[in-house]
Chain A
Amino acid sequence: MSLLKTEGLGIQFGGLKAVDEFNFEIDKNQLYGLIGPNGAGKTTVFNLLTGVYKPTSGQIMFDGKSLLKMSPTQITQYGIARTFQNIRLFKDMTVLDNVKVGLHHSQNYSLLSAIVHTPKYFKGEEAMEEMALSLLRVFDLEQFAHVKASNLPYGKQRKLEIARALATSPKLLLLDEPAAGMNPTETAELMETIKIVREKFAIAILLIEHDMKLVMGICEKIAVLNFGTVLAFGTPEEIKNNPDVVAAYLGNDE
């Protein structure tokens, strides 16, 4: 059974159909790539899946439930986490606290027990600290735990954002251009990290990326989006040789 399934998903801004008839399926533990020229509607798809935008048509089923009536917060709690194209960390908080915000729902001690400092509070805080540190360890960020997030180098900020997303214990992780602005070495490192994440956390990953080497290198399946509609589905090999895709990227020779 598929983890996420969209049927006829679409959104219209005034007269513009940003995404139209988007049919898509992703299985558990699958690594899926979403590519397309600029303005094709890739980030809009992410915003639809996470509830930031409400679709004007279609259906989103995730893990057997419709996401249409859920708020972004509920969708995150239900198992979809994401990162952003332009990094959106909590800049003035420490690296550790950034991850702890993601872990918010892993503990349930109340406001009162925080004020009175009950044993439940101490236990909860200790558990959160441990979980956060072990997540940071996966991304090799442990030594930066008490550094302000804004003081991290760019590549590490990207990693921290993934760590924060993983802290919400998602079943599906959406990565919006994780390699944007990275040099080839950093990109190669990122590819390794994504592979490790998928194995270690046994989650499905949907990835928007312009770096074809990265997409073709790690994705099992790719969807190509153009002008809000799906142009092609397939394995990296199939996509590479698809004349429509080549035309969308490079134009027709007429």
Chain B
Amino acid sequence: MKKKQIQQFILSFVIALVIYGALMFAMSAGILDNYWSGILIMACINVVLATSLNLASGYLGQLTLGHAGFMSVGAYVSAILSIYFQMPFIVSLIVGAIAACIIGILIGIPTLRLKGDYLCIITLAFNEIIRVIMLNLNITNGAKGLMGIPMNTDFTTGFMSVAVTIYVIYSIVKSRHGRAIISIREDETASELAGIPTAYYKILAFAISAFFAGLAGGLYAHYMGMLVPKTFDYNKSVEILVMVVLGGLGNLKGSVIAAIVMTILPEYLRAFSEYRMLLYAVVLIAAMIMKEKNVMPRIKAKFAKKRHEEVSEQ
């Protein structure tokens, strides 16, 4: 088992390195211009957001609509540290993520007693509360927006954040802690009666999810160079949730692919950008009607069936 895991790790590491190298080469050779390298960085940020929300919504099974709130905490804290305290980039990123994590725990303790729709509503409300606070504080410069954030986020930091996020979440999921988290999604009462401290694991998963949302927020702040509270309204939370649902709840690969597609696709559909929210709603409803946990396995199964039929016909 150990050997297999190490082999798998090395393989993933090499694949990641190849992808990184290829993209870096494409950028330095001018195949991908500035516009596209910007989109790639946004894709990295979205991947971190989607995979981290997948831990709370996909693996833990708690549908939350406040992920943009945690992102904004990370974004503002790290931006303020960079602007007013001249902290190094990495330090402000990590402190921002920790701040989001702490807020996650504070929000999680009272709200995770709720389930389903109620949790959705309360996290949505929390998202709005954070946004309004950011709008009214002096240090965040309110609606005018926080300017002059050093633009330190490049493709390398984005890509490394993605690698770390996926690695950490994957490692957790494949451990006894991850199994405890998944068992809560499957049946909370049975999990409790199998000896799992469910309250602890719910808050743990929520906190880790918030941590990486905060990291994504910090990356975003240092990529854009300015922050406005409006960016982090519930539309952003819905957008992240759609990525997770589209990629499949409890499916990390799916989240990565969905996040990349949903970053690139709107660029091609600029003309229809006003209908984007409409499309998200349709996607969510379609996902609910199909009641399939993920789209990918379904497509795979279809292909497998086709192949099977072809083989049997011959």
Contact with A along B212-232 (1 / 0, CB 8 A): 000000000000000000000
Give the distance to chain B from A195, nearest Cβ to Cβ, in Å.
24
The smallest beta-carbon distance between B11 and chain A, in angstroms, is 15
State which of B41-49, B81-89, B170-178, B268-276 sits at the interface with chain A.
B170-178
Q: In the bound complex, how far is the Cα of B176 from the Cα of A112, in angstroms?
A: 12
Known contacts A114-B172, A122-B2, A129-B1, A73 near B195 by CB under 8 Å: yes
A77 and B179 contact, CB distance less than 8 A: no
Q: Which residues of A contact B9 (CB under 8 A)?
A: 117
* Interface residues on chain A, number (Cβ under 8 Å): 40
Decide if A164 touches B168 in the complex (CB within 8 Å). Answer: no
Asked if B195 and A168 make an inter-chain contact with CB atoms under 8 angstroms apart, the answer reads yes
A121 within 8 A of B: yes
CB closest chain-B residue, reference A98? B183
List chain A residues, Cβ under 8 A from B119. Answer: none
Stretch from A81-89, A177-185, A216-224 forming part of the interface with B: A81-89
A76 vs B180: C-alpha distance in the bound complex, in angstroms?
A: 15
Q: Residue on A with the closest CB to B188? A: A88
A128 near B176 with CB under 8 A, answer yes
Q: Are A93 and B182 in contact (CB under 8 A)?
A: yes
Knowing A101-B180, A101-B183, A126-B2, the reply to whether A121 touches B193 (Cβ < 8 A) is no
What 0/1 pattern do residues 1 to 42 of B give for CB contact below 8 A with A? Answer: 110010001000000000000000000000000000000000
Main secondary structure of the interface of B (DSSP, over half): helix
Knowing A76-B193, A168-B194, the reply to whether A91 touches B186 (Cβ < 8 A) is: yes
How far apart are A248's CB and chain B's nearest CB, in angstroms? 30
On chain B, the residues within 8 Å of A129 by CB distance are 1
Q: What is the CB-to-nearest-CB distance from B197 to chain A, in angstroms, rounded to a whole number? A: 5
Residues of B within 8 A of A247 (CB): none
Partner of A84, one of B5, B177, B190: B190
Measured CB to CB, the residues of B under 8 A from A are 1-2, 5, 9, 168, 171-172, 174-180, 182-183, 185-187, 189-198, 204, 250, 293
- Taking Cβ atoms with an 8 Å cutoff, the residues of A that contact B are 50, 52, 71-73, 76-77, 81-82, 84, 88-93, 97, 100-105, 107, 109, 111, 114-115, 117, 121-122, 124-126, 128-129, 164-165, 167-168
**Given known contacts A76-B195, A114-B175, A126-B1, what 19 new A-B pairs fall within 8 Å (CB)?**
A50-B193, A73-B196, A76-B194, A77-B195, A82-B193, A88-B189, A90-B190, A92-B182, A92-B186, A92-B293, A97-B179, A97-B182, A101-B191, A102-B194, A104-B179, A111-B175, A114-B172, A122-B1, A125-B175
